[in-house]
Chain A
């Protein structure tokens, strides 16, 4: 048989892992990535939960795994279509590519925190997102407060844009609780006299080592965990931020003045698939649009009638890096089996 071809859309951890796995199974792949460099969100992170592993140590093997594979950078795929056994892929920069199957690994977008104006993101410089905090750890972004400050006070708000009907996102983003715990510890390590408070609805320490990390944060690093949603953030003197919340466990209102407020932004799907005549458009998701359905669950019609389209990684829903890698491998085997039945 002539070598069969698979197009992979998105060069995040899922796309990179799937490409390496498929190549090792003898399939030819090409990767399309809208950004100028591969790595997806992973390349923004500083250290990974729960073991503070350096993120580049996780990224490098993935990048090494795709050496020699054609990767189209700066190619945003906007349309795919299906004709007989052939898939056609079209990108914004005019690239066309034909393949036997398509694997979507388009991942997620971070929730745009300015959509919750009450938290003051984009209004008060001291209000930042969790992703921006990773960049501060990496030294790629200045701290919003004076680093010589003796005892900075820092707050974390969980579930920003997740578990929030008003934002159209009912789901839990799964990794932000443990990310907040990880980041809180990193802050405590970096600023020894700092005081860190996390405002949460409930803590979802689902993975191995997560609960232990949470325990460590309280016992060894004196991180305060307050159950209650933030009601508002307002400006206080000299760039500080005043937050109000209710401690629902103690049943009392709470007022704190902070030097930095970190919003744990959730995940939203990066693309929305819409069927149009004989093709599928990869568009911008609208309010309340969910993640792409898995093939087995709630199979959308187009996935049924058009075999050869696969999805893997965080584009199916919030996932951690290990989840994503496992899923990419598993789906690659599905792709391989599909190609085998066709030839």
Chain B
């Protein structure tokens, strides 16, 4: 049960094992005390079982990729799951054959060489068939992968990741391993007989018995060497993702939280950046791709983080639209990772927030609603006016907190990587909001809304104005009739993917008119191009993104493009040929239609478009 050709495999495998264990232990020890606690608690809990299920679904079957792109999913699934089937089958074979559960790992892997002729229904019939079927599945996945490298469109992808040399070496050995296994097993079958549906056919490739005898050992050597070298390269290449992804899923299930600061070689972040397989799903969803910019997408960002240089500038360009985070099958916290990476960039900026404490009044009488329009509200006075008119119409008592002066909610600071400064703004703003004695905070800006709800820990609930307006309609404090204008709704990144608010804006539009369907909407909506997330993307590049987004929004020639974010409205309206409105403006304008009792505004509206 031993032959020297197994040595390359044994060496490669052992080195990999040692390196992996060492790295994982180092990463685990770098975790925050809170996260280490979570790991300990989680280890013996039900979450571990759930994680195993998810590992099966995501690491092996790749169901999420499958849902996005079936052919690509099949490629990943057949490679990973087929290989997994081989490992399980190998274990069963050796167990059944020797009667011992524990055998040297190489015995299972090179089983066919050591035991060419097995007997009996289970051994020779079922297991042999199963093993060859598994190999065939892997090979089919492999052939798609090869085709994908050569012609990416075949798998329905517009973009595939570009790889660095270390990865290419690992990739080369990975591609070699399974064909070599097939060849080695076929040679053994040609020499000794046996084999199932696959090798009986392929063994005939050896033409004569002599050839097969002559080639058998060299092929097993080659297979073992290829496998050994692949395992050797694995912890240093992107294939580290194969084991790490599984650990990552466990960690996620155990509830580990993103850790502050930027430490991609320690703690949770290390697991995250090393679990990205570079699958490229994030490329196709990135709005910048459509504008011909392919330098900063998540796959490249993560790769650069692993490489340890140039990641800050890449992180700074991204719009932070969240499309990739939504699509990423591994569930990497791309946004927080990116913001942490940015923290290195703007350290030198000289922020002075001493003025904060002098600004704005604190205590006021009790009121129903505290309205906060934010910095972005200042560039959209029409939206602010419309919201106020609607609140008056519905008889809502409110205070406009930042009518004359305002303090930024802090998210733009956080997006620039200045987390500490953001905290100062949060603190002052929280004092101000609590000081208004309101029952509800309503904001017209999705950026503020998301930040208020996730970072502020307020003592009153917070709603985006679309949600509040919908409540007013539902409680019939505001009344509108259905008109026949057609609206295309643009999901702001911060409100949709950022705060999971998709329905209320649509409900409102549906109440007053028709909502046209779009080819990309809801969590797949495109970014307006001017998300405050990007600090360095050139204006022209942003404008290309805006143009693409406008094409989608104009698809079914609506009467209006409607959005719920001041930034989106500003950006879209500058470039759009169709009129762009905030939801609040639409709701206000519809009142006039209904009061007049006529539907003739459509004409007027289109006249306004061409001044």
A interface with B by C-beta (< 8 Å):
112, 115, 117-118, 120, 122-124, 165-168, 232-235, 242, 284, 286-288
In contact, B404 and A234 (Cβ under 8 angstroms)? yes
Q: How far is the CB of B283 from chain A (nearest CB, A)?
A: 27
Q: How far is the CB of A101 from chain B (nearest CB, A)?
A: 30
Beta-carbon nearest neighbor of B385 in chain A: A123
Taking a contact as CB atoms closer than 8 A, the residue among A117, A122, A124 that contacts B570 in the complex is A117
Cβ of A234 and Cβ of B381 under 8 Å apart?
yes
Chain A residue at smallest Cβ distance from B378: A232
Q: A165-B540, A168-B543 are in contact. Are A118 and B574 (CB under 8 A)?
A: no
**Chain B proximity of A13: nearest CB distance (Å):** 22
Expressed in whole angstroms, the Cα–Cα distance for A115 and B382 within the complex equals 12
A166 with B381, Cβ < 8 A, contacts A234-B404, A288-B543 known: no
B372-407 contacts to A (CB < 8 Å): 378-382, 385, 403-404
Provide the residues of chain B in CB contact with A123, threshold 8 Å: 381-382, 385
Q: A112-B611, A166-B539, A234-B404 are in contact. Are A286 and B577 (CB under 8 A)?
A: yes
In the complex, which residues of chain B have a beta carbon less than 8 angstroms from the beta carbon of A287? 543, 547, 574-575
Which of chain B's residues have a CB closer than 8 A to the CB of A284? Answer: 610
| Cβ–Cβ < 8 Å partners of A117 in chain B | 379-382, 570, 573
Cα–Cα, bound, A313→B258 (Å): 62
Query: Nearest B residue to A110 by beta-carbon distance?
Result: B611
Interface of B is mostly: helix
In the complex, what's the smallest C-beta–C-beta distance from A160 to chain B, in angstroms? 13
Interface residues of B in 255-301 (CB under 8 A from A): none
Q: Tell me the bound Cα distance from A118 to B378 in angstroms.
A: 6
B294 CB to closest chain A CB (Å) equals 23
Chain B residues contacting A288 (CB-CB under 8 Å) are 543
A232 to B566, CA, bound (A): 14
**A168 and B574 in contact, given A112-B611, A284-B610, A288-B543 (Cβ under 8 angstroms):** yes
Q: Which 5 pairs, one residue from A and one from B, show the smallest C-beta to C-beta distance?
A: A118-B379, A287-B575, A165-B539, A232-B378, A123-B381
Give the distance in Å from the alpha carbon of A124 to the alpha carbon of B45 in the complex: 62
**Contacts of B610 on A, CB cut-off 8 Å?**
284
Q: How far is the CB of B514 from chain A (nearest CB, A)?
A: 26
What is the minimal beta-carbon distance from B480 to any residue of chain A, in angstroms?
A: 23
CA separation between A233 and B404, bound complex, in Å? 11
Docked Cα-Cα span, A122 to B382, in Å, equals 9
Query: Bound complex: CA of A110 vs CA of B575, how far in Å?
Result: 16
- Report B-chain residues with C-beta under 8 Å of the C-beta of A168: 543, 574-575
Bound CA–CA A235/B385 (angstroms): 10
A124, A165, A234: the one contacting B378 at CB < 8 Å is A234
Q: How far is the CB of A325 from chain B (nearest CB, A)?
A: 28
**For A120, A167, A287, which residue has the most chain B Cβ atoms within 10 angstroms?**
A287
What is the bound-complex CA distance between A168 and B550, given in angstroms? 15
**Distance, CA A8 to CA B610, complexed state (A):** 24
Q: In B593-611, which residues have CB < 8 Å from any A CB?
A: 610-611
Contacts of B543 in A (CB 8 A): 168, 287-288
With CB as the reference atom, state the residue of chain B lying closest to A122. B382
Contact B575 A120 (CB under 8 A): no
**A168 vs B539: C-alpha distance in the bound complex, in angstroms?**
10
Residues 560-586 of B, flagged 1 when their CB comes within 8 A of A and 0 if not, give 000000000010011101000000000
Bound-complex Cα distance A235 to B377 (A) = 13
CA distance A303 to B573 in the complex (A): 33
What chain A residues lie within 8 Å of B540 (beta carbons)?
165
Asked if residues A167 and B574 are in contact (CB atoms below 8 Å), the reply is: yes
Chain A proximity of B389: nearest CB distance (Å): 12
- B611 CB contacts on chain A under 8 angstroms: 112
Q: Considering the chains assembled together, what is the distance between the CA atoms of A165 and B573 in angstroms?
A: 14
Minimum distance in angstroms from B300 CB to a CB of chain A? 27
A-B contact pairs, 26 of them (CB 8 A): A117-B380, A117-B382, A117-B570, A117-B573, A118-B379, A118-B380, A118-B381, A118-B570, A122-B382, A123-B381, A123-B382, A124-B381, A165-B539, A166-B539, A166-B574, A168-B543, A232-B378, A232-B379, A233-B381, A234-B378, A234-B404, A242-B404, A284-B610, A286-B577, A287-B547, A288-B543
CB distance from A250 to the nearest CB of B (A): 17
User: Among the interface residues A117, A120, A235, which one has the most CB atoms of the partner chain B within 10 A?
Assistant: A117
A328 smallest CB distance to B (angstroms): 26
**Whose C-beta in chain B lies nearest to the C-beta of A244?**
B378
Beyond A112-B611, A117-B380, list 13 extra A-B contacts (CB 8 Å).
A117-B573, A118-B570, A120-B381, A122-B382, A123-B382, A123-B385, A166-B539, A167-B574, A168-B543, A168-B575, A233-B381, A242-B404, A287-B543
Chain A residues within 8 Å of B382, by CB: 117, 122-123
State in angstroms the CA–CA spacing of A123 and B384 once bound together: 11
Rounded to whole Å, the gap between the CB of A165 and the closest CB of chain B is 4
Closest CB in chain A relative to B143 CB, distance in Å: 47
The docked-state distance in angstroms from the alpha carbon of A123 to that of B386 is: 11
Q: Which residue of A lies closest to B539 (CB)?
A: A165
Contacts of A124 on B, CB cut-off 8 Å?
A: 381
Contact, CB under 8 Å: B573 / A115? yes
Name the CB-closest residue of A to B538: A165
- CA distance in complex: A120, B385 (Å): 11
Chain B residues near A234 (CB-CB < 8 A): 378, 381, 403-404
Q: Which residues of B contact A167 (CB under 8 A)?
A: 574
Tell me, rounded to whole Å, the shortest Cβ–Cβ distance linking B386 to chain A: 10
Q: Which residues of A contact B403 (CB under 8 A)?
A: 234
Instruction: Report B-chain residues with C-beta under 8 Å of the C-beta of A166.
Output: 539, 574
**Chain A contacts for B385, CB-based, 8 A:** 123
* Distance (whole angstroms) from the CB of B508 to the closest CB of chain A: 21
Bound together, the chains give a CA A122 to CA B574 distance in angstroms of 15
CA distance A141 to B171 in the complex (A): 75
Q: Which residue of B has the minimal Cβ distance to A288?
A: B543
**B558 to A: closest C-beta gap in Å:** 18
Distance from B291 Cβ to chain A, minimum over Cβ atoms (Å): 14
| Chain A contacts for B577, CB-based, 8 A | 286
Closest B residue to A233 by beta carbon equals B381
Among candidates B378, B547, B574, residue contacting A115 with C-beta atoms closer than 8 Å: B574
Residues in chain A near residue B381, CB distance under 8 A = 117-118, 120, 123-124, 233-235
The minimal Cβ–Cβ distance linking B395 to chain A, given in whole angstroms, is 22
Q: Collect the chain B residues with CB atoms within 8 Å of residue A120's CB.
A: 381
Nearest opposing residue in chain A for B540, CB measure: A165
Cα A115 to Cα B539 in complex, Å, equals: 17
Select the residue from B378, B381, B404, B577 with max chain A CB neighbours within 10 A.
B381
Nearest Cβ distance between residue B608 and chain A, in whole angstroms?
10
Query: CA–CA, A287 to B539, complex, Å?
Result: 13
Residues in A whose Cβ lies below 8 Å from that of B378: 118, 232, 234
Chain A: CB-nearest residue to B610: A284
Complex-state Cα separation, A178 to B484, whole angstroms: 48
Complex interface: chain A residues within 8 A of B570 (CB): 117-118
B9: min CB distance to chain A, Å: 60
- Cα A288 to Cα B531 in complex, Å, equals 20
Q: Which residue of A lies closest to B546 (CB)?
A: A287
State in angstroms the CA–CA spacing of A286 and B380 once bound together.
23
Cα–Cα distance between A232 and B381 once the two chains are bound (Å): 10
Report the minimal beta-carbon distance from B257 to chain A, rounded to whole angstroms.
38
Could you tell me the distance between the alpha carbons of A181 and B403 in the complex, rounded to whole angstroms? 33
Please name the residue on chain A nearest to B576 by beta carbon: A287
CB-CB contacts below 8 Å: B539-563 with A = 539-540, 543, 547
Enumerate chain B residues within 8 angstroms of A122, measured Cβ to Cβ: 382
Contacts of A165 in B (CB 8 A): 539-540
Contact string against A for B residues 511-540, beta-carbon threshold 8 Å, 1 for contact and 0 otherwise: 000000000000000000000000000011
Contacts of B404 in A (CB 8 A): 234, 242
